[in-house]
Amino acid sequence: MEFGQAEESLDSLGLMAQIQTSCSYQPELPVSFCNISGSIVSGKHDLPKFWVNEEVNLSEVRIGNGNTNQISSGKDGSSSWWKSTSTSLERNKMKGRRKMREPRFCFQTRSDIDVLDDGYKWRKYGQKVVKNSLHPRSYYRCTHSNCRVKKRVERLSEDCRMVITTYEGRHNHTPCDDTNSDEQNCISSF
């Protein structure tokens, strides 16, 4: 992964403003890492690492006016997809989820708080204890209508101060759609 790509990836998430990245592709690693410095978001975060999971086809990672936005075009077009009125049939459709390839980005931060203030509003829909981790993994979805972005948050078992945040999908709206604070205005420059 190259510098520009990382920047675009961040952009696609609408996560941060004024971030300076110095990226180096490390082919020996399963993911590409980027060290990020600069003003991230409010909160006590410490030099997060950023990477794009190579599980994702790079063409899907590309953003901009990307035609790869699989998020905004929801499968059912529901405007309140997280409030499932699902029949068993719809539920069965959901179960094909693991085959889906969404753009996925990870942040590793040192933070006291689990949920980074990225300007979007998240709703927790699950928590799970995962193998080889002392800490449970939390699952969040963006509460915005038609936005299917998900994120997982877990702490490193080796260092409970380290938080791994994995974003899956891309927002089809700006943070401003959720809040109007100055801080979000800043972040929403993406």
Partner DNA sequence: CGGATTTGACCAGCGC
Partner DNA sequence: GCGCTGGTCAAATCCG
- Give the C-alpha distances (Å, rounded to integers) separating 24 from 39, 46, 52, 67: 20, 19, 12, 27
Q: Does 50 bind DNA (CB under 7 A)?
A: no
Residue pair 142/122 in contact (Cβ under 8 Å)? The answer is yes
User: Which spans in 75-160 are helix H?
Assistant: 88-94
3-state secondary structure 14-30: CCCCCEEEEEECCCCCC
Facing residues of 104 across strands?
168
Q: Supply 40's token pair.
A: 């991230």
Instruction: Tell me whether residue 115 or residue 186 sits nearer to DNA (CB atom).
Output: 115
Question: Binding DNA by CB under 7 A: which of 55, 123, 160, 189?
Answer: 123
| Footprint on residues 68-107 left by DNA (CB under 7 A) | 82, 84, 86, 91-92, 94-99
139 binds DNA (CB under 7 A): yes
Considering only residues 152, 155, 170, 171, which one is a binding residue for DNA as defined by CB under 7 A? 152
The answer to the question of residue 29 lying near DNA (CB under 7 A) is no
**Nearest distance in Å: CB 158, DNA:** 16
Residues 189 and 168: their CA atoms lie apart, in Å, by: 21
Interface region with DNA, contact rule CB under 7 A, candidates 20-28, 36-44, 66-74, 132-140: 132-140
Count of positions on this chain that bind DNA (CB under 7 A): 28
Asked if 125 interacts with DNA (CB under 7 A), we say: yes
φ, ψ (nearest 5 deg) of residue 5: -65, -40
> Which residues here bind DNA, judged by CB under 7 A?
82, 84, 86, 91-92, 94-99, 121-128, 130-132, 137-139, 143, 150, 152
